[in-house]
């Protein structure tokens, strides 16, 4: 799995749109900076997301998300590709990881978001949901964002790139 966090703001971000010539599209911008956060992990084999909305990103919230991952995959060992966010390395998280050896972390190099497949999921979800949106309530936008994460398969070529399927057959 590949995990990461993202923040969602009510303020719309813009991207290219098709619009009739001479008619400038109008995008309403919220004056407030309300936000919510998402924790998510991409199953690199199936393309499915395990996602959780949170008002904060902290060690305690991270532990709740790791519990969610363990519950989603109750019988198998899990290797999680993860960046080095401060809350990932908190004392609470370190203790949790020691108590749950079925979950192993592979730390990504510092400042290398391009190596994390979860970043592609954020990009696709923002393009589908939060760019150019016209929603006036953060909860509605967050519901749509979360629904897209849960209901969309996000293919990832990382495993194929490293011949994962053939390697797995060697160990069965």
Give the tens place of pLDDT for each residue, 85-143.
Answer: 999 999 999 999 999 999 999 999 999 898 899 999 999 998 888 766 666 788 988 99
Quote the pLDDT of residue 107: 94
Q: Identify the domain containing residue 103 by its residue range.
A: 2-14+23-170
Quote the number of domains for the chain: 1
Q: Which residue has the tokens 């797995």?
A: 168
Confidence of residue 158 (pLDDT cuts 50, 70, 90): low
Query: Are 102 and 67 within 8 A, CB to CB?
Result: no
Report the C-alpha gap between 113 and 120 in whole angstroms: 10
R_g over Cα of the chain: 18
Please state at what angle helix 138-151 crosses helix 118-125, rounded to 10 degrees.
130
Q: What percent of the chain has pLDDT over 70?
A: 78
Task: Identify the bridge partners of residue 53 per DSSP, sorted by sequence position.
Answer: 38
Q: Which residues contact 20 (CB under 8 A, 6 or more apart)?
A: none
Task: Identify the bridge partners of residue 52 per DSSP, sorted by sequence position.
Answer: 39
Q: Which residue has the higher pLDDT, 9 or 55?
A: 55
CATH number at residue 112: 3.30.420.10
- DSSP assigned state of 43: -
Average confidence score pLDDT of the chain: 86
Report the C-alpha gap between 126 and 12 in whole angstroms: 10
- DSSP assigned state of 13: B
């Amino acid at each position: 799995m590949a995990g990461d966090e993202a923040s969602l703001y009510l303020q719309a971000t813009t991207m290219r749109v098709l619009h009739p010539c001479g008619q400038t599209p109008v995008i309403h911008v919220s004056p407030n900076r309300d936000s919510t956060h998402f924790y998510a992990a991409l199953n690199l084999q199936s393309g499915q997301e395990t996602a959780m909305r949170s008002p904060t990103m902290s060690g305690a919230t991270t532990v709740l998300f790791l519990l969610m991952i363990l519950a989603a995959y109750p019988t198998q060992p899990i290797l999680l590709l993860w960046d080095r966010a401060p809350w990932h390395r908190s004392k609470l998280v370190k203790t949790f990881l020691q108590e749950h050896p079925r979950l192993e972390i592979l730390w990504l190099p510092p400042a290398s978001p391009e190596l994390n497949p979860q970043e592609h999921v954020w990009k696709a979800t923002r393009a589908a949901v939060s760019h150019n949106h016209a929603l006036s309530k953060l909860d509605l936008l967050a519901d749509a964002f979360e629904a897209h994460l849960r209901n969309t398969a996000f293919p990832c070529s990382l495993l194929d790139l490293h011949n994962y399927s053939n390697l797995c057959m060697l160990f069965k």
